[in-house]
Structure 1
């Protein structure tokens, strides 16, 4: 055994060097992947804190890094059409009601682990210029919320809710999928451009 090793020392050293390099490459990939995951923006959209039109829509930052919320888009789909509206500015309140002008917008940094309420559905509908009359709510099939944010790159997320009205015309939002869908940079740009072209 030792004779074979001494005779093939150069080959053994080369193989050992290659194996060591491969092990270090694996460790490097794990390290870089962990750093990228920690810096990756992860926004979540959920319904909570109320029922029906009093339910709030919440945006949470599940990542470690702060995310700057830039715009929030709502799309309301009926059988006839899809109505997009940016709901970033809280125009349903006067400046006197808000007290602080900065409370009049949903823009701003969202720290890791923090959340922000977009308002309850009644407020959001007023902000979007939509009617919350029972006969109008019955026509709605789906509501989609799209959040545009920014870290060192563009961050985006969207979640779609199907709309169910009970016999008492109480609206309920049921998510079409439990997880919030993350949006790539190019998809954020495309959705934003299309909404702007449609006059949102």
Structure 2
């Protein structure tokens, strides 16, 4: 046995070196993937208060390790008449039942914090108005128009990235009852817009709305 080891010691050392290098590469890859995942921005878009209705606030939550800066917020409303898009970054504040001044949602959000948009009804109404659709109580006034879904997109900057990124979440609108539509998430989480088509759409929105 010892004679065999002595005869093949060089080959064994080379093999052991290769195996050791492979192990270090494997663990290095795991550490890098963990670091990249930690540094990757993560934004959640969710409903507040746990209600299905449009009066629920829309929450933009920063689950990244560092702060993000919100550049633009977009609402896309899919209807039987087509899909209509509205910028909802800026809005009119109301005091005492009267519109007082224009305000903006362009702002930083610290890690673990949320931005609160008053309610989804505002997002539906703004997108519907972009398509010249009259809305009352979250429903189209024209009985021939059907609201199908709403997508909310947040376009943000993150400290470790050079380019803006977009995060989107879709919600189905259940208008089967002649009352406030129900808002049903399509997926359990928001989707990061990373494909070439998505990045092009994000860039187009930034040029148009900022």
TM-score, normalised to structure 1, is: 0.83
2:45 aligned residue: 45
CA distance in 1, matches of 2:7, 2:191: 59
> Alignment partner of 1:174: what SS?
strand
Deviations 1:133-154 (A, max 9, x none): 1551762111111111121323
Give the 3 Å change call, closer, same or farther, for CA 198–68 of structure 1 in structure 2: closer
1:1-200 alignment runs, 5 A limit: 1-49=1-49, 52-93=53-94, 104-125=103-124, 130=129, 131-134=134-137, 135-136=139-140, 139-151=146-158, 152-153=160-161, 154-165=164-175, 167-184=177-194, 186-195=196-205
- CA RMSD in angstroms, aligned pairs only: 2.8
Count of residue correspondences: 195
> Alignment partner of 2:64: what SS?
coil
CA distance in 1, matches of 2:182, 2:46: 13
Q: Is the 8 A contact 2:57 2:117 kept in 1?
A: yes
CA distance in 2, matches of 1:89, 1:62: 23
Which contiguous aligned blocks of 4+ residues in structure 1 show a shift greater than 4 angstroms? Answer: 125-129, 193-200
In structure 2, list runs of 5 or more residues that go unmatched.
none
Deviations 1:25-84 (A, max 9, x none): 011111111110110111111112255332111111122122211111001111111110
CA distance in 1, matches of 2:118, 2:68: 19
Q: Is the 8 A contact 1:44 1:61 kept in 2?
A: yes
CA distance in 2, matches of 1:75, 1:29: 39
Q: Is the 8 A contact 1:40 1:65 kept in 2?
A: no
Q: Is the 8 A contact 1:71 1:149 kept in 2?
A: yes
Q: Is the 8 A contact 1:155 1:185 kept in 2?
A: no
Q: Is the 8 A contact 1:162 1:173 kept in 2?
A: yes
CA distance in 2, matches of 1:91, 1:38: 37
